[in-house]
Amino acid sequence: MAYKMPDQRWLYDLFRRVDRDGSGAINANELQSALSNGTWSAFNGETVRLMIGMFDKDRNGSINYQEFVHLWDYVTRWLNCFKSFDRDNSGNIDREELKQALTTFGYRLSDSFYSIIIRKFDRKGAGSIYFDDFIQLCVLLQSLTAAFRQHDTDQDGWIQIDYERFLTMVFDVCIV
């Protein structure tokens, strides 16, 4: 898919609009309300925190303009990806669309695992997944798979780890 970085000035204006208190940096609240201004409903707080955790390179808890450029690019790519799998343009991803998406990403998951995913990430109880939850799900799946692979040195899909290693693995991935 062709993708072009937006004009810097346009992006800087956007940054200034998102930075509502004019502090020169975007905090979690500002990011959350900016992301909920689109066509989708309010972004979930966990995805907002997750994204700040990923792009706050200087670890000061907020997003400056340089960090925002990368964050914006990331959200846009996810949005394009999300839209391409939302075949019926319903604004959310149903079970079949999700299967298509995750299979395209290379995951081989059983039907019963898809039921678990839908149960966990379908916050509205409608049998489908919205954009923010989709990002969270994909990032979680990606990180847990990477953590598993580190232990699965012979790549047979099986690992043997003790209790504390298991906890460490899950904590590293799930707690930002």
Identify which range of 83-91, 100-108, 117-125, 137-145 contacts Ca ion by CB under 5 A: 83-91
In this chain, which of 15, 19, 31, 78 binds Ca ion, going by CB under 5 A? 19
DSSP, res 39: S
Q: Is 56 in the site for Ca ion (CB under 5 A)?
A: yes
Task: Pinpoint the alpha helices (H) of the chain.
Answer: 8-18, 28-35, 45-55, 65-85, 95-104, 111-121, 131-151, 163-174
Quick one: 19 or 132, whose CB is closer to Ca ion? 19
Using CB under 5 A as the binding criterion, the count of chain residues that bind Ca ion stands at 9
Q: Is 96 in the site for Ca ion (CB under 5 A)?
A: no
Quick one: 89 or 110, whose CB is closer to Ca ion? 89
24 Cα distance to chain centroid: 24
Angstrom distance (rounded) from CA 84 to CA 17: 28
In this chain, which of 29, 37, 84, 88 binds Ca ion, going by CB under 5 A? 88
